[in-house]
């Protein structure tokens, strides 16, 4: 580990509760370039606790870029300045000595701040609950694996399934739209034979749940794709739109 230390000024969002007024609070730190961003926050919290002060609340779990829990807005960018990584994979060597770093929670009406940097992302779970699964009987695992699927189709499905539900697409969108997330979850099944029996019902139910949870509309600014840590393509949004309009026409429920 390097002995070099970076001196940084952090302006971190502190908010005592969901109904309280928040503000940016200054913290001066010295950290190793080898530390991750979350390790730096851990060190700040250790110092705060030693001085009987309230630690900074933020969310994390796997710290391996898998779970999507660690989302923060760093200098105005969800997950920070390095593309295709989550906050937990961001290391301090990507900053310069003397930098000022702004750390805020994901901002969206559908993601209310619970405390400090922690937001409520259960609206994404509620969207999944209405259609992010296959409920029909597709047989046992060997039977399902015997269904022939073209390599390029399987690859597209796996690419969509790479979405970890972190919410960076929502935080980066000027409308706080969840279309990239929903389209990825729709596409991962829409591309496979196992997803066909419920394809129409799934897209209608998930889009309806997305609207009910207060997410905004998509205006195709591409910000979601640019900030997605897994590089989910907006081509999935086009697929969702086609499936949605097709489902509406078939159900004769065009409004």
242 within a domain of the structure (yes/no): yes
Length of the chain: 255
Which of 81, 115, 149 terminates a domain? The answer is 115
Asked if 39 and 137 sit in the same domain, the reply is no
The residues, ordered by sequence, that sit 6+ positions from 214 with a Cβ below 8 Å of its Cβ are: 109, 110, 123
Q: How many domains does the chain have?
A: 2
Question: Does the reported pTM lie above 0.85?
Answer: yes
pLDDT tens for each residue of the chain, 255 residues long: 557 899 999 999 999 999 999 999 999 999 999 999 999 999 999 999 999 999 999 999 999 999 999 999 999 999 999 999 999 999 999 999 999 999 999 999 999 999 999 999 999 999 999 999 999 887 777 776 788 899 999 999 999 999 999 999 999 999 999 999 999 999 999 999 989 999 999 999 999 999 999 999 999 999 999 999 999 999 999 999 999 999 999 887 555
Asked if 246 and 138 sit in the same domain, the reply is yes
The residues, ordered by sequence, that sit 6+ positions from 194 with a Cβ below 8 Å of its Cβ are: 134, 136, 138, 144, 147
Angle at 251 between CA 247 and CA 252, to 5 degrees: 115
For residue 38, the model assigns a pLDDT of 98
Q: Which domain holds residue 43?
A: 6-115
Asked if 105 and 136 sit in the same domain, the reply is no
Asked if 143 and 233 sit in the same domain, the reply is yes
* CA distance linking residue 142 with residue 236, whole number of Å: 28
Q: Are 10 and 29 in contact (CB under 8 A)?
A: yes
182 within a domain of the structure (yes/no): yes
CATH number at residue 53: 3.10.20.30
* CA distance linking residue 184 with residue 188, whole number of Å: 6
1 within a domain of the structure (yes/no): no
How far from chain centre, in Å, is Cα 165? Answer: 4
CATH number at residue 132: 1.10.1060.10
């Amino acid at each position: 580990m390097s002995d070099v230390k970076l001196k940084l000024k952090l302006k971190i969002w502190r908010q005592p509760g969901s109904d309280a007024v928040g503000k940016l609070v200054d913290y001066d730190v010295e950290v190793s370039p080898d530390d991750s961003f979350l390790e730096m926050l851990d060190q700040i919290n250790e110092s705060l606790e030693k001085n009987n002060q309230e630690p900074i609340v933020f969310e994390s779990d796997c710290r391996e870029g898998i779970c999507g829990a660690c989302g923060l807005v760093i200098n105005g960018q969800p997950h920070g300045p390095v593309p295709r990584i989550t906050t937990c994979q961001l290391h301090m060597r990507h900053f310069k000595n003397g930098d000022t770093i702004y750390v805020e929670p994901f901002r969206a009406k559908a993601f209310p701040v619970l405390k400090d940097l922690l937001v409520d992302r259960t609206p994404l779970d509620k969207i999944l609950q209405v259609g992010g699964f296959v409920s029909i009987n597709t047989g046992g695992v060997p039977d399902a694996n015997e269904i022939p699927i073209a390599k390029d189709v399987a690859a597209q499905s796996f690419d969509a399934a790479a979405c970890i539900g972190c919410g960076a697409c929502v935080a980066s969108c000027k409308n706080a739209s969840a279309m990239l997330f929903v389209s990825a979850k729709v596409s991962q099944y829409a591309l496979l034979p196992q997803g066909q029996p419920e394809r129409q019902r799934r897209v209608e139910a998930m889009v309806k749940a997305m609207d009910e949870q207060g997410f905004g509309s998509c205006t195709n600014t591409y910000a979601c794709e640019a900030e997605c840590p897994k590089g989910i393509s907006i081509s999935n949004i086009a697929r969702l739109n086609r499936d949605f309009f097709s489902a509406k026409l078939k159900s004769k429920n065009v409004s």
